Amino acid sequence: MRNRTAIALTFTMVVIDIVMTNLSLFVAYWLRFESGIVPFQVFHSWRAYIGLAILESLLFPIVFAFRSAYRFKRGVSRIDEFQKVFTAVSIGTVLTWAISAFFFRDFDFSRALMAIGWASAILLIWTTRLLQYWLRAILLRRGAMESRMIIVGTGEMGKAILQKIQQSPSLGYRAVGFISSGYNIASDPIRGVPILGGIDDVGSLVNHDAISEVIIAEPGLPHQRMMDIVAACEKGRVNVKAFPDVFQIISSEVSIGDLNGMPMVSIRDAGLRGWNLAIKRAVDVIVATFMLILFSPIMLLVAILTKLGSPKSPVFYVQERVGLDSKPFQMIKFRSMMPEAEEETGPVWATRGDPRATRLGAFIRRFSLDELPQFINVLIGEMSVVGPRPERPYFVEQFGKKVPRYLERHREKAGLTGWAQVNGLRGNVSIEERTAYDLWYVENWTLLLDLRIMLRTLIAIFRDTNG
């Protein structure tokens, strides 16, 4: 219910942005040509700007999505929102001007109108954003999009955070309970909020009580206990934040935010939640459909050549891999190895110039053509175009035991390509380093990052020598 409400509000935000974009263009036209305030030499008909209005209506939502302007944040400041709107509108205006200059070469758009439209778009969109956040605050006070939270630590910091939450209902947080960091767990509630258990209970609480936020408010918490909490949240889309006193115990990249004035350090941020999941899925469907149609002649040719090379062997190689939430799925590839490739060795990673590859297999592996059928996995929702590359259960079991936080890479769908791959970490390389890249991607996802990875993958296909 909470995700549906968030998606509906984000959709409303997109529609309002489009309306305000067109309204700003109308205001700019009126001021430039009809108000008499700004003198002009050549009169332009409103119809001449219809194409420009359509172009802005298409470009602005895309730019705003790239700038994460549709990602809802609780307690956002007016200044931060203005900066975000200013940047997105400026980029959108420049792109609109550049594209319109290319497609409408026979018409010279009024520069004054464009400048007035830019300024009015910033003002109108920022004003409507403030109104939307005000309406969201009302909904949050009434329990819509409620974010259930547990607080680790029953000391003064934990109590102060609870007090701030209870005094700020517009943030939309509901403190479900406390987690005691000690071995002796008290039974008396704190300001009406119960103590639910110890740190060892975090995993069960997150999985069964729909927890979306965990705040660590315990200075001096041992490093291992901190990592235990982070690990307990790996299966859910749970944000983990800590009071700044514990900043120094985490070596990975963190970001600093606030809880209505109280500083917080984000240790683990689940970027793919709510509307972002819908955006990523939509991109997956569009890209997978396009690629399957575009490469269908090549796929047909590869299938025929594979069958001609080994008439008794299958064209496709279907292999069990581990995907979202550590669940197995059947990944599809064109067969590029001899049918008996692992009879003597058992499960092993493929290597550059692998002698087990067929002549055709070596070629299609060189240009990643063997991976094309995986767009089918993407289309049916088992994979994403971009994400951590899926491994076989045999390797997942091994790596999960020896590589810290390895299993956290399964918090999102496995990808046909990924951040690690475009940074040269393919095949038989350091699994620790590849895991670090995968985790960075999971915790820093943006639509723009996905598009960058797709573009770099296309470039890498013609430069790669791993085979």
pLDDT digits 0-9 by tens, 410-467: 888 999 999 888 877 776 667 877 888 888 888 788 888 898 899 888 877 765 544 4
pLDDT, mean of residues 153-173: 81
Residue type, 404: P
Residue with tokens 């990523």: 280
Specify the higher pLDDT residue, 380 or 97.
380
How far is residue 373's CA from residue 423's CA, in Å, rounded to a whole number? 23
Spatial contact of 158 and 132, defined as CB atoms under 8 Å apart: no
Q: Where do runs of H (alpha helix) occur along 326-446?
A: 359-366, 374-379, 393-402, 419-422, 431-443
- Indicate if the pLDDT at residue 332 is higher than 90: yes
Spatial contact of 63 and 95, defined as CB atoms under 8 Å apart: yes
Query: Degrees (nearest 5) of the Cα angle 138, 139, 145?
Result: 140
Tokens of residue 150, six digits: 């547990």
Ordered domains of the chain (ranges, CATH): 2-141 (no CATH), 147-268 (3.40.50.720), 275-461 (no CATH)
Residue with tokens 């020896």: 402
pLDDT of the residue at 220: 72
- 3-state DSSP call for residue 150? strand
- Indicate if the pLDDT at residue 185 is higher than 70: no
Tokens of residue 415, six digits: 């990808």
Lowest mean pLDDT across 133-142, 210-219, 240-249, 400-409: 240-249
Spatial contact of 428 and 347, defined as CB atoms under 8 Å apart: no
Angle between helices 296-309 and 359-366 in degrees, nearest 10: 160
Q: Where do runs of H (alpha helix) occur along 30-110?
A: 50-66, 78-103
Tokens of residue 335, six digits: 């067969």
How far is residue 275's CA from residue 396's CA, in Å, rounded to a whole number? 30
pLDDT of the residue at 251: 38
Tokens of residue 201, six digits: 């209970």
pLDDT mean across residues, the chain: 79
pLDDT, mean of residues 79-105: 82
Between the alpha carbon of residue 54 and those of residues 13, 21, 44, the distances in Å are: 18, 10, 17
- 3-state DSSP call for residue 215? strand
Give which of 408, 407, 413, 420 is closest to 457, Cα–Cα: 420
